[in-house]
Amino acid sequence: IKNIGILTSGGDSPGMNAAIRAVVRASLYHNLKVTGVLRGYEGLIQADFIPMDGKSVANIIQRGGTILKTARCDTFRTKEGRELAHKNLLESEIDALVVIGGDGTFTGADVFSREFNFPVIGLPGTIDNDLVGTDFAIGYDTAINTVVNAVDKIRDTAESHDRLFIVEVMGRDSGLIALRSGIGVGAEAILIPEAKVGVPELIHRLETGRKDKASKIIIVAEGDEAGGAYVVGEALKEKFPKYDIRISVLGHIQRGGKPSCMDRVLASRLGVAAVEGLLEGKTDVMVGQINKEIVFTPFSQTIKHIDAEKITPAWLRLVEILSM
Ligand code: ATP
């Protein structure tokens, strides 16, 4: 391997820049060339490549977002699109790829690396943390801290006005942001797709729970089958007309901001491991960290089946003990 291409793809997450920096610096350390690919797989297809050196990643470790930009790219889902991407890589003499993203990114990387026998290693970059093969994905720690900081502020006003707040957090298929941030803010209830609590059970808990609380915070993952904060809010207003109920949807603030130190260090460690993994001949795998150890997991095994792996019955029991 002489020239490593690097790209960020799918939804952005805080710490992607720290990962780019680590991949560039590790490549230079091993006397490899490194080429930035702009806007994810779209940049592969457009041959939107920029040479990178130590200076090009200076002063970015603390910045949210991604300097390489990211995009969703439907053309890469087609064989013709991937053939064009492959041709562009060969023409620019890029002979390996590091892709930073989530499950969609890895699905594409898996197809591509097998189709053309092209070396690809993935770095987990998603605030959802919904990948098997790493305890934490880059960006998750920052995102849950953003949620905790926001909800602490909501708690102040909720407590002053004796209000019930329903706060919707990100997580279309995964309740991991809701789970940890909910525990962190002392939420009265947490609705996540994996637990299937549902509105009737929530109402039951509110009816039977402590009555002496000034404020109540309910955290809802956007993908919960109850249907999001507004739907839950309507159901509760109907059942408890005396409650002063307010809704807050946190939205995209959860994706942005300076990465936490945990995310910067994780990104730095995984970025170096990705380059060294490629040099050792590893391909079609994601590099993650499990119990402090670096672990390489085939792309096909990183996707889905998250429930049993990360949202264990023990976590759900903890939520039940602590809420209400
Ligand atoms: P996040 O979890 O933050 O949304 P992601 O990596 O899952 O990130 P996606 O938009 O799902 O984001 O996927 C990123 C890109 O990966 C897609 O835009 C597409 O280019 C590529 N991709 C996804 N699935 C496939 C597939 N089956 N075949 C080829 N490419 C794919």
- Catalytic, 110? Answer no
For atom 23 of ligand 1, the residue with the nearest CA is: 104
Instruction: Give the distance (Å) from ligand 1 centre to CA of residue 281.
Output: 25
- pLDDT tens track for 7-53: 999 999 999 999 999 999 999 999 999 999 999 999 999 999 999 99
Which pTM does this prediction carry?
0.96
Taking the centre of ligand 1 as the mean of its atom positions, its distance from the CA of residue 299, in whole angstroms, is 13
Torsion of CA 270, 274, 276, 281, to 10 degrees: 150
Buried b (16+ CB within 10 A) or exposed e, 256-289: ebebbeebbbbbbbbbbbbbbbbbeebbbbbbbb
Pairing between β-strand 285-290 and β-strand 293-298 as defined by DSSP bridges:
antiparallel
**Contact 14 CB / ligand 1 (< 6 Å):** no
Complex ipTM = 0.95
Q: Is the dihedral of CA 217, 221, 225, 230 positive or negative?
A: positive
Structure tokens at 72: 């969703």
Sheet containing strand 216-221, strands side by side: 189-191, 216-221, 163-169, 244-249
103 touches ligand 1 (CB under 6 Å): yes
pLDDT value for 212: 81
Binding residues: 11, 21-25, 72-73, 102-105, 126-128, 155, 163, 170-172, 186-188, 213-215, 222, 246, 252-255
Per-position pLDDT tens, the chain of length 324: 999 999 999 999 999 999 999 999 999 999 999 999 999 999 999 999 999 999 999 999 999 999 999 999 999 999 999 999 999 999 999 999 999 999 999 999 999 999 999 999 999 999 999 999 999 999 999 999 999 999 999 999 998 988 999 999 999 889 999 999 999 999 999 999 888 888 999 999 888 888 888 889 999 999 888 899 999 999 999 999 888 999 999 999 999 999 999 999 999 999 999 999 999 999 999 999 999 999 999 999 998 766 667 888 899 899 889 886
Report the nearest atom of ligand 1 relative to the CA of 82.
29
Distance CA 321, CA 323 (A): 6
Cα 9 to averaged position of ligand 1 atoms, centre (Å) = 7
Distance 230 CA to ligand 1 centre (A): 28
Catalytic residue among 12, 128, 141, 224: 128
Cβ 108 under 6 angstroms from ligand 1: yes
What atom of ligand 1 comes closest to residue 127's alpha carbon? 3
Binding site for Mg(2+): which residues?
A: 103
Determine the atom of ligand 1 nearest the C-alpha atom of 13: 3
